[in-house]
Amino acid sequence: MFELSIKRAFKRHMKQTLPLTENEVGVLNGGFSNFPKSRNIEKEPIQSADFIDSSLLKKYKASRFNSFIPFEGQIIGFNAYTQQFLTLDAMLLDLFNAAILEDNITGLADIHPELFLEFIRHGYVVEHDVDETQKVKDLRNEVDLSNKKYELTINPTMNCNFKCWYCYESHIKGSKMDPETITKIQKHIDKVLAENPDLEEFHISWFGGEPMLYFDNVVKPIITYGHEAMKDRETELTSGFTTNGYLIKPEMIPFFKKYNIDNFQITLDGHRDKHNTVRYTASTKGTYDKIIENIKLLTRHEIPVYVRINYTEETLEKVEHVVDDFAELNEKERAFMMFSFHNVWQDRKPSRERLEKVITRFRSNDFITNSLFSSVDTLRHSCYADKKNHATINYNGEVFKCTARDFTTDSREGDMTAEGDIVWNEKFDERMNAKFNNSPCLSCRIQPICNGGCSQQAMENAGEDYCVIEMSGISKDDVILSKFKQKLEHQILRRAKLVRRINAGIF
């Protein structure tokens, strides 16, 4: 039977199991049994279905963002705009489809009022005059055109102490940001603060090359200058590093803590043996154990680390052993790590089932994980390059947006003046207007979580009909089911973790 209310399902489940604490992260909203109640539903109690008069209701239509997918003998419903899941049996889906066919969605209120209310609550049914594409555009504008945050990506160098075979960067030896460019960036910080009085956050992402090569000469002067410039404002300065992690030292930790370094992205190329054949220093010395120790160092000081695991068909089998190398971390320290799995782009894609098995191993050991499939949400969490208030400054002062392409002079999107102003060229306007021009996206049921990918993909496919999901070799249903399984597994593991804590007398 269709679980009409997660609150009622939760009450029934409470009779059979230990109590659960609430958790905003990873909770399944909607009618899914055996899961804790949603905070959203708790704040907005569902109205009684006993007093619905369909003659008084407005005209409704089915959302174009609905998907219904068979799974384990039931139907999984997903609305891509609200990102709400529901489960129902085939009979109720037939009822809904019949109402759509007859253009009488409101008639569901007479036949099955509770189902009708659930569909309204979770966005599966919307008022007939709602322009859902415009809602997506409005959300995009809210996220990408916001003046509340400014993001600056800086490449101190394009050189690197590693020579990974798949890296797309040019690794320019001797490249280093000079004092003149550092001064321009410092003036740019002043300009941004002066022109954006409502700015709440200024974030600097350090990229490259390997940014830690010039930590003392480039990174420190810019961060300390920005910190001083914002100390009397409401604007918060944060920073993060995309780094191979090899050059991190214990003596850097006080600086990280004082100047609000709030994240590191560090890459592993599989487990030890494989990693050491890909990521080594100039002397061919393996780097795996040093990087693992530096990740532990950061987490023990409560600095979040995103561990990006690049995998191939060959390395996926042993990559789960990475878990064993972090076994000594306690629960609090593990909370400052997230593992993200990415297929090396030159390699053919292994089976999803195999990858999911690996991810399950990480999650069962209390590590937070995501993957390419389950993390698709490029509208609400769009790429930095999609945002108006973002710039990437290369070591030589040339200005770009995207960091996933070559930093050639011909590809630059702007230049920085001696006064710290950025003068954008026509490529900037092309990027900011690249979205909502692709016909398949404008009729796609998962547009609110994909929206055609990033602006770089939209620019490179301009004038052609394309689908970034299909181009990646997966289906839209694959994306939805991956999101669903992640939430499902999160709740199962969370329940098991709570039971272990209760049995151990830890509250």
Residue 16's pLDDT is 35
pTM, to two decimals: 0.83
Q: What is the mean pLDDT of the segment spanning 76-95?
A: 93
Instruction: Report which listed range, 49-53, 106-110, 191-195, is most confident.
Output: 191-195
Residue 486 predicted with pLDDT over 50: yes
> For the segment 278-292, what is each residue's pLDDT rounded down to a tens digit?
776 766 678 899 999
pLDDT at 372: 58
pLDDT at 381: 92
More confident residue, 281 or 22: 281
**CA 482: distance to chain centroid?**
14
Residue 38 has pLDDT above 60, yes or no: no
412 three-state secondary structure: coil
Q: pLDDT tens, 410-424?
A: 999 999 999 999 999
Cβ(177)–Cβ(157) below 8 Å: yes
pLDDT-above-70 percentage for the chain:
82
Torsion angle of alpha carbons 498, 502, 506, 507, nearest 10°? 70
Q: Which of 77-81, 317-321, 485-489, 490-494 has the lowest mean pLDDT?
A: 490-494
Pairing between strand 398-400 and 390-393? antiparallel
Report, as an integer, the average pLDDT of 71-89: 92
> In a 10 Å sphere around its CB, with 0-12 CB exposed, 13-18 middle and 19+ buried, how is residue 50 labelled?
exposed
If you compute the radius of gyration of the chain from its CA atoms, what whole number of angstroms results? Answer: 25
The helices-and-strands tally (H runs, E runs) of the chain is: 19, 16
Q: Each residue of 157-180: pLDDT tens digit?
A: 988 766 655 554 455 667 899 999
- Sign of CA pseudo-dihedral 80, 84, 88, 94: negative
Is 312 a residue whose pLDDT tops 60? yes
Whether residue 18 is predicted with pLDDT greater than 50 in this model: the reply is: no
* Per-residue pLDDT tens digits for 342-399: 887 656 666 677 888 888 889 888 898 876 566 788 899 999 999 999 999 999 999 9
Q: Is the pLDDT of residue 408 over 60?
A: yes
79 pLDDT tier (thresholds 50, 70, 90)? very high
Q: Are 305 and 264 in contact (CB under 8 A)?
A: yes
